[in-house]
Amino acid sequence: MFQQHNKGFTFIELIITLSILSILSAYAVPNYLNFKQAQSMTSEINRLAATISFARNQSIILNQHVILCATNSFNECDGDSQWHLGWMVFIDKNRNRRFDHGDQMLLNENNMTAGLEAKSSIYRQHIRFNQVGFAAGTNLTIRFCDNRGSDYGKAIIINNAGRPRISQAISSCG
């Protein structure tokens, strides 16, 4: 009486296992990509919100006018409201809202994750904080969008008191 023990899978068991794995993967991969994009957007929103708070605090601490603006050259505010290209913070000593001779650079931030866009209105391209941290003028909204569309977009809104808040719903991208 010799008993034989098999130590492998039958072809049917292998096919069933691969089928189940394929079905689970088809469900998990799109959700993982959505999760990854959402995390990337949240990370970049938090990075810009931290910079806004930094600029506001520096205006109060230094008792100076501080400008935060989009840039792609880091020599001037030339980002044309496209914050995903990068941004800079500087002390505007002569209050002309431009980075020129005599102004002091406080911070430069590089571009955001590829595929993510962050844009503000062309009518409000920079944030100017006065000595008490106020950002006079209209509210500034910076909209964040990626290839998922406006249903997944978010925004940072900076009020006249200079405080940023994050909005979970936006009307449109662009």
Of 172, 54, 34, 169, the residue nearest 109 (C-alpha) = 54
Q: Quick count: other Cβ atoms within 10 Å of Cβ 165?
A: 11
- How far, in whole angstroms, is CA 46 from its chain's centroid? 7
Cα separation, 116 vs 127, in Å, equals: 21
Most confident of 29-33, 91-95, 135-139: 91-95
| CATH superfamily, region 43-167 | minor pseudopilin epsh domain (3.55.40.10)
Average pLDDT (94-114) is 92
Average pLDDT (81-93) is 95
- Strand, helix or coil for residue 129: strand
Sheet of strand 154-158: strand arrangement: 117-120, 140-145, 154-158, 164-167
pLDDT of residue 110: 93
**Which secondary structure element, helix H or strand E, spans residue 34, and what is its range?**
helix 11-62
pLDDT of residue 24: 85
Cα separation, 97 vs 100, in Å, equals: 9
Average pLDDT (16-40) is 88
Domain boundaries, the chain: 43-167
- For the segment 113-169, what is each residue's pLDDT rounded down to a tens digit? 999 999 998 888 899 999 999 998 888 999 999 988 888 899 999 999 999 999 887
pLDDT of residue 153: 92
Using left for φ > 0, alpha for ψ between -120 and 50, and beta otherwise, residue 143 falls in beta
pLDDT band at 56 (very low <50, low <70, confident <90, very high): very high
